[in-house]
């Protein structure tokens, strides 16, 4: 009897498994599928068990495992579960890195960034959690330290967290890049400090006249509804709205508070923080704020010459 009866040549094994002979030869050379015998001419021969072994190797390779890990499993030096655990961790790290790369490239494309800007954004996106926290802490120290505010509010500020999750979406990374650049801008910090000085109550005192615009969303919502009705900032209906919202408040002080927030980019800051946290925040109210500022200027008689109202 032919002692090689029932055995498969590498070509037959390729046809049986749907793989190329070249791939099988490579796996065999690497020790993943050893032949059970050879012909007198030295050609490799494989049995039915090798077919099952090839299927296992193919499955593990399709899942991204390297041949070293495949051999560890086949030789019993590690279980599939143990190798899978390690591979999942590696894939998670790779996915996070790819998400960061995608977000940076998307931002570069959108902004038509220069080489220097691209390098900066890439560095900001790849900061460690500790480095990101330091940026936030430096910003809070620059903006809030020395402000005369209620102890309870100061504690809330100190506990404010703005950070990326462990598995951020590309949109969150993109928002973080923009926010981190903003928080490190000395001019932005100075404008935010000036804005907060006008809109945070002093200890034991009531809220400043314009604070409701920023801390009570119904003000912006009322403006949005009025704008949707086609009312312009110099319309009598706008005067009625301003009078209703701010009653006996000093409208000049309200306007100063509002303009300080617009100049600081407070709405942009709020929106970026929401995006970094993955929250669905309130819609961008920038145009509503400009409309309200123009209406207040008309009511107070502080409309600069040559300025047109933004409806």
**Mean of the pLDDT values across residues 265-292?**
90
Out of 21-35, 104-118, 148-162, the most confident range is 21-35
Q: Please name the helix (run of DSSP H) or strand (run of DSSP E) that holds residue 44, with its range, or none.
A: strand 44-46
Out of 36-45, 102-111, 149-158, 296-305, the most confident range is 36-45
Is the confidence at residue 307, as pLDDT, over 50? no
Q: At 303, is the pLDDT very low, low, confident or very high (cuts 50, 70, 90)?
A: low
User: Which pLDDT does position 214 carry in this prediction?
Assistant: 81
User: Which pLDDT does position 191 carry in this prediction?
Assistant: 95
Q: Which residue has the tokens 């946290």?
A: 277
Is the confidence at residue 76, as pLDDT, over 60? yes
Supply the pTM of this predicted model. 0.63
Question: What percentage of the chain carries pLDDT values higher than 70?
Answer: 94
Q: How far apart are CA 18 and CA 241, in angstroms?
A: 75
Q: How far apart are CA 311 and CA 296, in angstroms?
A: 13
Out of 62-71, 121-130, 209-218, the most confident range is 62-71
Question: What percentage of the chain carries pLDDT values higher than 90?
Answer: 32
Q: Please name the helix (run of DSSP H) or strand (run of DSSP E) that holds residue 9, with its range, or none.
A: strand 8-9
Q: Please name the helix (run of DSSP H) or strand (run of DSSP E) that holds residue 37, with its range, or none.
A: strand 37-38
Of residues 88 and 5, more confidence is placed in 88
User: Which pLDDT does position 305 carry in this prediction?
Assistant: 41
Q: Which residue has the tokens 């949005």?
A: 224
Closest by CA position to 161, among listed 193, 137, 126: 137
User: Which pLDDT does position 1 carry in this prediction?
Assistant: 44
User: Which pLDDT does position 302 carry in this prediction?
Assistant: 63
Average pLDDT value over all residues in the chain: 84
Is the confidence at residue 73, as pLDDT, over 90? no
Q: How far is CA 76 from CA 83, 258, 260, 276, 277, in A?
A: 11, 70, 69, 45, 44
- Report the SS3 class of residue 120: helix
> Under CATH, which number does the domain 8-74 receive?
1.10.1660.10
**Mean of the pLDDT values across residues 35-52?**
89
Choice among 89-98, 181-190, 262-271, 281-290 with the minimum mean pLDDT: 89-98
What ranges do the domains of the chain cover?
8-74, 128-300
Torsion on CA atoms 288, 178, 143, 261, rounded to nearest 10 = -10
User: Which pLDDT does position 306 carry in this prediction?
Assistant: 42
Q: How far apart are CA 35 and CA 25, in angstroms?
A: 10
Q: How far apart are CA 91 and CA 309, in angstroms?
A: 54
User: Which pLDDT does position 229 carry in this prediction?
Assistant: 94
Q: Using DSSP, how many helices (H) and how many strands (E) does the chain show?
A: 16, 3
């Amino acid at each position: 009897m032919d002692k090689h009866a029932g055995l498969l040549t590498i070509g037959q094994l390729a046809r049986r498994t749907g793989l190329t002979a070249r791939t099988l030869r490579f796996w065999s050379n690497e020790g993943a599928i050893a032949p059970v015998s050879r012909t007198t001419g030295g050609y490799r021969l494989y049995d039915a068990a090798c077919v099952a072994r090839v299927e296992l190797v193919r499955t593990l390779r399709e899942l991204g495992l390297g041949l070293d890990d495949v051999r560890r499993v086949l030789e019993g030096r590690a279980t599939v579960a143990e190798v899978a655990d390690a591979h999942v961790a590696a894939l998670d790290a790779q996915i996070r890195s790819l998400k960061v790369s995608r977000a940076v490239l998307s931002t570069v494309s959108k902004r038509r960034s220069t080489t220097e800007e691209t390098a900066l954004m890439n560095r900001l996106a790849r900061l460690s959690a500790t480095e990101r926290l330091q940026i936030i802490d430096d910003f809070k120290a620059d903006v809030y330290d020395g402000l005369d505010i209620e102890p309870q509010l100061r504690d809330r500020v100190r506990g404010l967290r703005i950070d990326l999750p462990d598995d951020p979406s590309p949109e969150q990374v993109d928002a973080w890049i923009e926010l981190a650049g903003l928080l490190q801008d000395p001019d932005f910090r100075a404008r935010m400090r000036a804005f907060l000085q006008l809109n945070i109550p002093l200890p034991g005192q009531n809220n400043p006249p314009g604070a409701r615009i920023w801390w009570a969303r119904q003000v912006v919502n009322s403006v949005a509804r009025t704008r949707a009705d086609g009312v312009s900032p110099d319309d009598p209906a706008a005067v009625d709205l301003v009078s209703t919202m701010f009653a006996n408040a000093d409208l000049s002080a309200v306007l100063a508070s509002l303009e300080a927030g617009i100049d600081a980019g407070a709405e942009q800051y709020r929106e970026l923080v929401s995006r970094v946290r993955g929250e669905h925040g309130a819609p961008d109210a920038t145009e509503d704020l400009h409309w309200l500022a123009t209406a207040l200027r008309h009511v107070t008689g502080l409309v600069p010459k040559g300025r047109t109202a933004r409806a």
